[in-house]
Each structure stands twice: as structure tokens, then as C-alpha cells.
Amino acid sequence: MPDDCIFCKIGTGEIKGDVLDHDDMVLVLNDLHPQAPVHLLVLPFRHISSVADLGEADGELISRMVLVANRAAAQQGLAEKGYRLAINCGIEGGQTVEHLHMHVLGGRQLSGALG
């Protein structure tokens, strides 16, 4: 783990995050600067810099992230109206924190445009 990774530190509890849920692989927290009424982040405890660094052995982690995101969205009351799962990758993909995370956005009509 890089010394300065904020999401690793939230995972270990070194920095307090607004954590809503976790299992043995991933945690769910409220985004610090929400872009929608519900804006959660799902991230692995293990440091992985970006989605581009996932490999064949990470199949369970990927499915766990999606399933935990779905569960969190349902808990937030988004199941019926819908929500968006998004992973930004790299500079032009809009990634600002270099620890893999999936956004869960909902609670308002989201724009159809992705960029």
C-alpha cells in the first residue's frame, strides 16, 4: 500500500470514513463530495491502483464490488427508479484517487451523457 493512499487508510480505520457497509473484501462509504442525492463509493480493502490493474485472479473481487453496490443501492431505496455504477480509469477517464473504486449514483435523474 502506498503511504499516502486515502482509501487504504479509510480501509484500515487510520482515517475515519463514512462507512455504511463492508464484507471481507470491499467496503461502501458515502462520497465526501456527493454529485447526487445518493453518492456512494465501493472499494476493495486491498490496494489496487485502477480498474486497468485487475487481472484474471480478480474475478471474485469484481463480482463482489458489483453485488455489494447493488445491495447498497437497494438499501438506499434506489432499486425501483434505478442508479448508475461507474468506474473512472486514469487521467482522461477522470480518476482522481488512485485506489480502485466504483461510484454508485442515484436519487435524481442522471444525465444521459457520460462525458
The answer to whether the beta carbons of residues 114 and 96 sit under 8 Å apart is no
Give the contact letters, 50-89, x = binds to ligand 5GP (CB under 6 A), - = no: --------------------------------------x-
Whether 101 sits among the annotated catalytic residues: the reply is: yes
Helix, strand, coil tally for the chain in percent (to 5) = 25, 20, 50
The answer to whether the beta carbons of residues 24 and 44 sit under 8 Å apart is no
6/54 with CB nearer ligand 5GP: 6
Q: Please, what is the minimum distance in Å from the beta carbon of residue 37 to ligand 5GP?
A: 14
Distance between CA atoms of residues 104 and 101, nearest Å:
10
Question: Rule CB under 6 A: is residue 33 a binding residue for ligand 5GP?
Answer: yes
User: For residue 115, what is its C-alpha cell?
Assistant: 462525458
User: For residue 98, what is its C-alpha cell?
Assistant: 488512485
The correct pick among 1, 59, 94, 108 for binding ligand 5GP (CB under 6 A) is 94
Question: Rule CB under 6 A: is residue 44 a binding residue for ligand 5GP?
Answer: no
Q: If you search the block for the grid coordinates 480502485, which residue do you land on?
A: 100
Q: How many residues bind Zn ion (CB under 5 A)?
A: 5
The site for ligand 5GP (CB under 6 A) is made up of 6, 17-18, 29-33, 41, 88, 94-97
Catalytic residue set: 101
